[in-house]
Structure 1
């Protein structure tokens, strides 16, 4: 029987202490981001002064969680030289930072000796993992919720190991 997975926004709204996200792919092809990426490739740049033009519910949910006192962190493991998509992602990370998220980048060559889970994930309050599943070309196929303590422990340790080595967003150059 398929598992019913709450929306990310609902999960973040229930988060009280921490939400961490580990991304390990060099390409994502998810929802509206495809059109935004194509526009960026064509030369469009975000007017960061016009918040209404780029602020959306995801950023509001991050901002709300941070305002409640939760820490929201994201770490990205990337191949170098980075893909065009990662250059785009680095550019739009400004919105994550404005929302209150802390973001770091780890070159893949520096992750060789780290034990990492097989999928990207969000870990909420060190108790609940939202696993993201993708096709090979970056299309999201779904999510699952895992509460198994061994998986929670693996994901938490993996995230912290990456975070410790990773470069803060403002210092990482693409």
Structure 2
């Protein structure tokens, strides 16, 4: 059986676009960066973390190739600690070439969503992300599909969110 591609390989193979929709109020609360942030540590140099630096490198490389990387987040207000943490770190993502927008959940009631977070590469390949109830990565948490119904639902949901969401530079944490 062929080994599935890594996320790095998926982003590296994107030719023109990579869109990502996040719909949870918390993820991987055991992440050392999040734990440190929650305890009050606010690093000035966010790129010092090797894993985050890898992510920023992948984003820069894709952006430099002309790939538009857009991330939208749908979240509850007042924001959870984890959403505040993501907002803090998002400046570095944007600087690396990601476009990020924020949509409070109350403004998304009329949008049809898939049941899971996802990425769509080049409006073709969908990477469905599965999490446990507490936001940790589930076993076999990455699922790839080219099913046109799933792709169309994901792209439609993302674009509906993107259209009404607030650009990162303009969104201010409320709590």
TM-score scaled to structure 2, two decimals?
A: 0.92
Distance (Å, rounded) in 2 between the aligned partners of 1:61 and 1:16: 13
* Equivalent position to 2:41, from 44, 55, 65: 44
More off after superposition, 51-60 vs 126-135:
51-60
User: In structure 2, the residue corresponding to 1:6 is in which secondary structure?
Assistant: coil
User: In structure 1, the residue corresponding to 2:127 is in which secondary structure?
Assistant: strand
Aligned residue runs from structure 1 range 131-142, under 5 A: 131-141=128-138, 142=141
Distance (Å, rounded) in 2 between the aligned partners of 1:169 and 1:130: 24
User: In structure 1, the residue corresponding to 2:31 is in which secondary structure?
Assistant: helix
How far has the Cα of 1:53 moved from its partner?
4.7
User: In structure 2, the residue corresponding to 1:56 is in which secondary structure?
Assistant: helix
**For the structure 1 residues 52 and 81, does the alpha-carbon distance in structure 2 shift closer, same or farther, using more than 3 Å as the test?**
closer
Aligned pair count reads 170
Distance (Å, rounded) in 2 between the aligned partners of 1:52 and 1:37: 14
Distance (Å, rounded) in 2 between the aligned partners of 1:127 and 1:148: 9
How far has the Cα of 1:151 moved from its partner?
1.0
Gaps of 5+ in 2: none
User: In structure 2, the residue corresponding to 1:82 is in which secondary structure?
Assistant: coil
How far has the Cα of 1:4 moved from its partner?
4.5
How far has the Cα of 1:165 moved from its partner?
0.7
Distance (Å, rounded) in 1 between the aligned partners of 2:135 and 2:49: 25
- The equivalent residue for 1:8 is 7
Q: 1:131·1:144 contact (CA, 8 Å) conserved in 2?
A: yes
1:45-104 per-residue CA deviation (whole Å, 9 max, x = no partner) reads 1223x7445652111111100000010000000000010111111001112111100000
**For the structure 1 residues 111 and 12, does the alpha-carbon distance in structure 2 shift closer, same or farther, using more than 3 Å as the test?**
same
TM-score scaled to structure 1, two decimals?
A: 0.92
Distance (Å, rounded) in 2 between the aligned partners of 1:158 and 1:29: 24
Question: RMSD over aligned Cα, in angstroms?
Answer: 1.7
Aligned residue runs from structure 1 range 10-25, under 5 A: 10-25=9-24
Gaps of 5+ in 1: none
Distance (Å, rounded) in 2 between the aligned partners of 1:75 and 1:167: 9
